[in-house]
Amino acid sequence: MQAQESREYRYYLLFVMLIGYSLNFLDRQIISILLQPIKEDLLLSDTMLGFLSGLSFALFYATLGIPIAALADRKSRRAIVSISMAVWSVMTAACGLAQNFFQLLLGRFGVGIGEAGFTPATLSMIADTFPKEQRATAVAVTSAGAMLGVMLGLVIGGYVAQHWGWRTAMLVAGVPGILFSAVFWFTVREPVRGASDGISAKSETSSLWTSAAILWRIRSFRFIALGAGVSSACVYGYSIWLPSLLARSYGMKPAEIGLLLGPVLGGVGVVGALVSGYLCDRLMRRDLRWTIWIPAIASAVAMCFAIASLLTSSAPLLIGLYAFAYLLSMFFSASTSSIIQSLVPIEMRATSVAWKMLMVNLVGLGLGPQAIGALSHFLSARGDDESLRTAMLMATPIFLIPTVLYLIAARTMREDADRITGPAPTH
C-alpha cells in the first residue's frame, strides 16, 4: 500500500477543501438573504419561498447524492468533485436569469444536482488522507469553509441585492466556482483508499442496495444519520428565515442584514466547527462516544438560546442570542461526518456519507425551511402579524430530538467501530 501523503500536501488539500466548501455554501445559502427581495419582485407566498430555499434544492441534492457517492466509491473522486463544482456554479448563475417562480425553481433544481456529488466524495478523500485521530479536526476545517460561505453569501448577497438586484447577486455568486473547479482538477491527487488506516478496500464494492442494507445493520450509523438530519433542520430552518424575520419585524434592509448577520453567523459557525472538531479528537482518546455526546449536549443547550432570541424585541440582542444557538447547533457537523467514517467499511465511505446527507437534506434542508414557511403562511392567513416569529418559536422543540437520537447511537458505537478498524484507543 502507498505511504500516507506528506504533511504539506495534507495541509494543501485542507485549504483547497475549505475554499470548495466556501463556494458550495455560498451558492447554496445565498438565497436566504434574497428571499424578501424575491418575494416582493415575484409576489410569492412564504410556502413558495420555503420550497425554493429548501425542498427544491434538497430533493435532487439528497437523492442523486447516493448513486453519485456509489460511483465515488469506485471511480475518481477528484473528477466528481471538479465536475460537481462546475455544474452547481453554472446553475447558480442561471438563477440570476429567472423571470418567474418556475424558472427560478429549475435553477435551484440544477444547483442541487450539481452539489449532490461534492460532500460524499470530499469526505471520503479526507478519510483516506488523514488518520482517524485527526479526522474530526480535518472535517471541522472544511466545515469552517462552509461557514465562511454562509458569511460571504449574506454579506455579498445582501450588498449586491440592495444596489443591483437579487438577480445580479446570483450571477456574482456563480462565477468563482466555475474557475475554481479547474484549480481542483489540476492540483489535487486521488488518494489511495484505506491508506490512512493502513488497510485495503475490497477489490469489489457492493451494489447500491446491498451497501444500504449493510449500513442499515450498523445500529449507531442509523441513529447518527437521523440525528444529523434533525440537527440540520434546526440549523437550516432558522438560518434560512432569520434574514426575512429581520426585514419584516425590524425593518432592516438587505445590505444591513448581510453586513451584520453574515460576520456573526460566519464567525461563530467557524468557531463552532473548529471547537467541536478539536474536542472530539481530544476526548475520543478517552472514549469514542464523546464524538456523539458532544453534539447531544450542545443541541439541548442551543434550544434555550433559540427560544430566548425569538422572544426579544431588539434586533442586535436577537442576533447575539441566536449566535450562541447557531454555534452550538453546528457542533453536530464535524463530529457526525468524521465518526461515521470509522463505523463503516472502507469501500463504503462515500456511500455512507451520501445516506447521511440524504437525511440531512431531506429532513433538514428540505423540511426545515418548508415547515416554517408553510406554518408562517398558515398563521398569516389567520391574522398573525408576527407569523414568521411565531412559526419559528413553535418549531424550537425539535432541538431536543437530536439529543435523544445521539444518546441512543452512543450505546453501540464502540462495538460498531471495533468491527471495522479494531478497538479505539483508550487511556
Contact by Cβ (8 Å): 373, 49: yes
349 located within any domain: yes
241-285: per-residue pLDDT in tens?
999 999 999 999 888 999 888 888 888 888 887 888 788 778 877
Mean pLDDT, range 71-90, rounded to an integer: 90
Q: How many domains does the chain have?
A: 1
Q: Which three cell numbers stand for residue 371?
A: 415547515
For the ranges 19-23, 114-118, 264-268, the maximum mean pLDDT occurs at 19-23
Q: How far is CA 400 from the centre of its chain?
A: 19
Give the dihedral sign, CA 215/221/226/230.
negative
pTM value is: 0.72
Output phi, psi for 108, to 5 deg. -65, -35
pLDDT surpassing 70 at residue 47: yes
203-234: per-residue pLDDT in tens?
455 566 677 778 888 888 889 988 988 988 88
Q: How far is CA 59 from the centre of its chain?
A: 15
291 located within any domain: yes
Instruction: Return d(Cα 191, Cα 235) in angstroms, integer.
Output: 32
More confident residue, 242 or 146: 242
CATH number at residue 308: 1.20.1250.20
40 located within any domain: yes
426 located within any domain: no
Q: How confident is the model at residue 205, as a pLDDT?
A: 53
Instruction: Return d(Cα 362, Cα 366) in angstroms, integer.
Output: 5
Mean pLDDT, range 120-133, rounded to an integer: 82
Q: Which of 37-41, 262-266, 337-341, 419-423 has the lowest mean pLDDT?
A: 419-423
pLDDT surpassing 90 at residue 180: yes
343 located within any domain: yes
94 located within any domain: yes
Mean pLDDT of the chain: 85
382-408: per-residue pLDDT in tens?
988 899 999 999 999 999 999 999 999
2 located within any domain: no
- CA end-to-end span of the chain: 30
Which domain, by its residues, includes 51?
7-421
- The long-range contacts involving 209-218, CB below 8 angstroms and separated by at least 24 positions, are 211/70, 211/73, 211/348, 211/351, 212/351, 212/355, 214/344, 214/345, 214/348, 215/344, 215/348, 215/351, 215/352, 215/355, 218/343, 218/344, 218/416
1 located within any domain: no
